[in-house]
Each structure stands twice: as C-alpha cells, then as structure tokens.
Amino acid sequence: MAKVHILGSAAAVNDARHDYTHFLLVGERSGPVLVDAGSNPLGKIQALGIDENSLQDVILTHLHPDHVAGIPNMIPHLWLLGRTAPLRFYGLQHCLTGIERIVGGYDWHRWRDLVPLTFHTIAERPAAPVLENDDFVITAWPVRHFVPTIGLRVENKLTGRVLAYTCDTEPTPSLLELCDSADILIHEAAGPPPGHSTAAMAGQTASQVGAKALYLIHYPVWKTDPAPLVDEARTTYGGPVALCQDFDTLEF
C-alpha cells in the first residue's frame, strides 16, 4: 500500500521534538513525492531508509517560512552530494515566484553544475491538476489562509483510497469538495480563524465530508501539550481521531 510519512507536525512555532509540517508520499511504483519542506527534509528521508536521489517531485502549498524553510538547505545539500538529476517543483504562481527569488538571493545561477530545477505552476482553481504518476493522481483546491494556499487531494490509483490534506486554512466551502469521502483526512489544528482552524472545526469538516478517519496536524507545540486537541475534535466528529507525530506512517 501507499504510505504517508509525517516528517513534521508542528505549526509555525516548532520545537526540538516537532518540525514544521511536511510529509512524504511513497507509492509502490513511483518515486516519492515531498509535500512542503521543513527544516531538513533530506535528513528525515535518509532516516527512513529512502534514497534521496529517488526524490523527483516537491509540492509547495504556499509561501510561508514554515512550509518552504527547508528549500535553501535542500538544494545545496543535493548539489554537494553530487546530484545531477532534475528536481521538479509544483506550486501556485505566488509561491513559485517567491522560491525563484530565494534561488536568486543565493546567487545559485553562479554555482557550477547546480541541480537542475524546473517549476510547474498549479492553477488557482478547484480540482486543479498537480501531478500524476504510476501511483497517484494529485489535485489541488484553493483554501483560505493569509497568502494564496492550496490543499491537496491524493488518489491512490492502485487501491482507490483517498488522502485529503487541508493545509493551513480556516473553514471554507472548498474543503467540502477537497475532502469529500476521504479515507484519511489530515487537517490542520493551529487555532481559531482567521487563516486557521480549531480541532473542533477540523472535526466538523470531517463529519460534513464523511471522512473515514481524521488526523490532526499543524498544531501548537511551543510550551503546550497538543494531546487535548484529540478530545476537542471528538466533540464534533464520531470517527477515529489521532494526532500526527513526527515520523508517523499512515497507509492508504
């Protein structure tokens, strides 16, 4: 079965035990797909026993530091390891333009034999195609955050099961399509709007869309215990609820 490796679970203020929210999709027939980039995604990929050279695709949900902070480290990391294969980035134009500015800020165009980078723009509309490989069909929906942001719907072509990821968002109608009948709903729980959702709101969305299971992510960790968020979500959702932790693995 396909796997989702949670590489980080924290909201924008992380700590020593929780990295920023990002995860890795691993199928049975294709290379892994990285969704966002925390502090050191390649180090975590290595810790999972996955060859970093198998990574070809990176989806960036939006241009906030806690979702793209690892990019300035990841690219020279691969370069120093001798990678020559291209790395493909997918995101909204707002996000990709920012990443290209970061690349320019480090003068990477002057570096000899830098890892080739390609940028693929995702349309800012419902059910926008992101990528398709032998394992997954991935589409995106705009959600409601402080900057242009997408949530992701990942369909497993082998099993028919669906993973939905809300990313950073307050409750918004687009979630009803994005998360419809998801087998796994990974929903943020950073706090009340604007721009974010509470655990109770996550539970309400899970109930509305008929999700089979709810996993809370992007939650506060700094000098706080996130465990009570599970009970909060259960006040509005009767299905299974869990708190994503760094290095958790989910199958779908």
pLDDT in tens, 188-246: 999 999 999 999 999 999 999 999 999 999 999 999 999 999 999 999 999 999 999 99
Residue 133 has phi, psi (to 5 degrees) of -130, -165
pLDDT in tens, 162-198: 999 999 999 999 999 999 999 999 999 999 999 999 9
Domains in the chain: boundaries: 3-251
- CA dist 149 and 164 (Å) reads 15
pTM over 0.95? The answer is yes
Can you list the alpha helix ranges (DSSP code H) found in 150-227?
A: 174-178, 199-209
Under CATH, what is the fold of the domain 3-251? Metallo-beta-lactamase; Chain A (3.60.15)
pLDDT band of 112, cuts 50, 70, 90: confident
